[in-house]
Structure 1
Amino acid sequence: MSYLTTPTGLTRAPTGPAPLGVGVPGFAHPLLAPTEWAELLRCCRGAGTRGVAPVHWAVLDVANGPGARPDPHCLPAVARLRETGVQVLGHLDTGRGARPFGELISDAHRFLEWYRVDGFWLDRCPTDRTLLPAIRKAATCLRALREDVYLVFAHGSHPCPGYAESADQLVTFAGAWSDYRFSQVAEWTADYPPERFCHLVHGVPRTHLDEALRIARWQGAGTVYLTDRRSAVPTGTVGDAWESLPGHWDAFVSRIGTGVSE
């Protein structure tokens, strides 16, 4: 299992098994995925009880962003989630750093005004150093919009370390199980606690859930989402793999709720 090896520039991230929680990177619209939203709400309400995983956050994506007007189906769904104390994050597509700053902030304002989101999911966030100043500028502006805003940078792979200074959490893996089981963690991540990192993995068979959770703990991730669905879209986006409920949802959340030994 190569996640236990240490090539140059890569290492095991911080000390020992990390406590895990669930991050939901974006179910389909409540009209198209009523079961998914109902299960998410059930899990949020039961978080902290035996065998039920804590949900750290859930992403709201109405129409690749907030949409043109408040959605009458999303409004009550989001309100119910927020009542459980779970953070709801508005989906902002950065276009790998190419999206105009004004459009990004305009979408953020609509998410806050219409859905009272707790923070933002910066999808397709760039990873290279040259675009870091633009993302830092956006993050500073987003934090000024409301108190205690929570920011997740959805890179999908390890960015340059400077991005960690502007985000509450970084998605350092988003991709297929076939890649995840042989993945490595960047050495610099050992300087941060597990709650700063999230892993999203699709195509995980039920029989490999325990192994996937061990990899996440070993690599120092504090938030995970594992699904047996497969994606047909580029790695790192909120795509079709995340939109429907995993076939092994109950097994997934119960394993996090009870823990998986090393």
Structure 2
Amino acid sequence: MNTHAPSRPSLLVPYYEHPADRPAEWDALIAAAPRLYGVVLNPASGPGDAPDPAFIQAANRLRAAGVRLLGYADTGYGRRPVTDVVRELTRYHAWYGTDGTFLDQVAAEPGGFDYYRRLAAAVWGAGPATLALNHGTPPHPAYARIADLVVTFEGTWETYRDQPSEPWPGGSGGLGAQVCHLVHGVPPDIDVGALARARGASVHCAVPGVGDHPWGTLPHSLEPTR
């Protein structure tokens, strides 16, 4: 739990495109290694049914560059069986050598805490690992006790720009978890990092993508030159 101390502002990149289809973009991620908090691997809305050779190669290159790798798992706001989620996390670690997990669609209310505490215990049981929880909204502060990184915002640039800023009490100034903001539909001339830092998020990602699949795009600053 909380195995990584707060660090300088950096990027968590959930990039949900296949390395064989977007090799230049994956090269750009590797080149940006010093700026990255981590990269979220998501071969098939999860690890899939078998190891993917292209993702194995990409994971090996990222790891060699010193990038933290997090395996994506959807928790369905606490509705998926814990055993199913743990099976996916085990596959990520065995197939891609992940350093931790990025749990998506995470409940924010205190009633869901025990479910995620059980998942956190499974993550830690495999050894030191990073646990990122994507609530997409400020959760109950108790979640900071079990996570290294908590996503307290995921949404459009327009919403992010206009919403009032309130410090999350579970952040590094409180219970210790780092805070992350994920913003999509961002124009190229906008510095979301500065705004995220002002709002207490030491980690962020801001991409131009819109619609149902915004995380198929990289941050403007990482886009490869063609």
TM-score of the two chains, using structure 1 as the length reference: 0.77
* Distance 1:101-1:206 versus aligned 2 partners, 3 A rule: same
Tell me the distance in 1 between the aligned counterparts of 2:176 and 2:202.
4
Pairwise CA distance, 1:149? 0.6
Q: 2:188 aligns with which of 200, 203, 206?
A: 206
Q: Which residue of 2 aligns with 1:88?
A: 69
Distance in 1, matches of 2:132 and 2:50, equals 24
Cα deviation digits, residues 134-173 of structure 1 (max 9, x gap): 111111111102x211000011110111111000000011
Distance in 2 between residues matched to 1:214 and 1:182, nearest whole Å: 15
The 2-side partners of 1:161 and 1:22 are apart by 23
Q: Is the 8 A contact 2:143 2:170 kept in 1?
A: no
Q: Which of 108, 115, 119 is residue 96 of structure 2 equivalent to?
A: 115
Work out whether 1:249 is the aligned partner of 2:221: yes
Question: In the alignment, is the contact (CA less than 8 A) between 1:198 and 1:224 conserved in 2?
Answer: yes
Give the equivalent residue in structure 2 for 1:220: 200
- How far residue 34 of structure 1 moved from its aligned partner, in angstroms, is 1.5
Greater than 3 Å deviation, 4+ residue runs: 189-195
Q: CA deviation at 1:186?
A: 4.2
Gaps of 5+ in 1: 1-17, 48-53, 234-239, 252-262
Q: What is the CA–CA distance in structure 2 between the aligned matches of 1:205 and 1:195, rounded to whole Å?
A: 29
SS of residue matched to 2:166: coil
Q: Which amino acid aligns with 1:88?
A: L
Alignment-derived partner of residue 26 in structure 2: 37
Shift of 1:187: 4.7
CA distance in 1, matches of 2:222, 2:81: 40
Per-residue deviation, 1:116 = 1.0
**2-side partners of 1:60 and 1:87: how far apart?**
10
Structure ranking higher on relative contact order (CA contacts 8 Å, 6+ apart): 1
Tell me whether 1:173 sits opposite 2:144 in the alignment. Answer: no
The AA in structure 2 aligned to 1:23 is: L
Structure 2: segments with no counterpart, 5+ residues: 1-6
Match of 1:55 in 2: 36
Report the CA distance shift for 1:222/1:116 in structure 2 as closer, same or farther (over 3 A).
Answer: same
Separation of aligned partners in 2, 1:77 and 1:193: 34
Residue 27 of structure 1 aligns with an amino acid whose one-letter code is Y
Post-superposition offset of 1:201: 0.7
**Alignment of 1:182 onto 2:162:** yes
Query: How far apart are residue 19 of structure 1 and its match?
Result: 3.3
Contact 1:195/1:221, CA 8 A, preserved across alignment:
no
- Greater C-alpha radius of gyration: 1
The answer to whether the 8 Å contact 1:195/1:223 transfers is no
TM-score normalised by the chain length of structure 2: 0.89
Alignment partner of 2:32: what SS? Answer: helix
2: distance between equivalents of 1:188 and 1:195?
A: 10
The residue number in structure 1 matching 2:49 is 68
Alignment identity in percent?
A: 33
Amino acid at match of 2:99: D
User: How many residue pairs align between the two structures?
Assistant: 215
